[in-house]
Structure 1
Amino acid sequence: MSRSCPCNPSATYASCCKPLHDDCAVASSAEALMRSRYSAYVLGLGDYLLATWHPDTRPDALALDDTPGLRWLGLDVKRHTDAGDGTAVVEFVARYKVGGASAERLHELSRFERVDGRWFYLAGDFPG
């Protein structure tokens, strides 16, 4: 049985984010890249996260959250705006919980830039 993709439970991982994670396929949009990055966080794929981070803002290293009991619950993309000039914004809410605690929400406005035909995560802001 094929497992569902963390970014979209109605799609299989093999048909959704796996080609981006394994084959370095080019994301078709900033939203597709953001979804693959969410899935990479869920799956602990730090190398992929660094590889898709814009060179101007990429950290030297990335320590993924290894909080005991951390569980990602889902992703809701609120909007995707492609400015048409090689930049885009994706607003999303990711839900998670730690152990038996109540679910939390991570609300982010992520900025992306296209460089040589590939989308890269530039930075994010946390509204509210």
Structure 2
Amino acid sequence: MTQTLSLPGKLALGVSALFGLLYLSFGLAWLGAPSIIAGALGASLLQSTGLATQLGDSAAFFLCSGLFMLYGVFRRHPSYLMAGALLIGLVAPARIVAWQVHGAALTMDAIVVEIITFLVVFSAARAVSAR
């Protein structure tokens, strides 16, 4: 017999689904409206082969993150939740390295969202694996 999730676990799963939809929409936007999503994320579009790489990599990153989260939520599969959490969560330290080593802007608002996403989806993964 499987146990039901606690209220915090259910909340973490619900918010994880919302994050999954958000990142899935970002991935679709990279394919359908790249100038809009680039502007929303504070990026500028590259040219030629750089643009192809930027759109392909960015779309794949966000689509995978969102799909992993959504699949993990709806199938109650902690490994998929963790994959989505780690994809987004590892962006925060990479941004800090970019700032410290390469002179990029310190984007604390994005870092905070990435850390919150990681913590919520990680919590959902733990809740699902504990049941």
Same-fold call, TM > 0.5?
no
Bigger Rg over Cα: 2
Given the two structures, how large is their TM-score scaled by the length of structure 1? 0.28
Which has the larger helix fraction?
A: 2
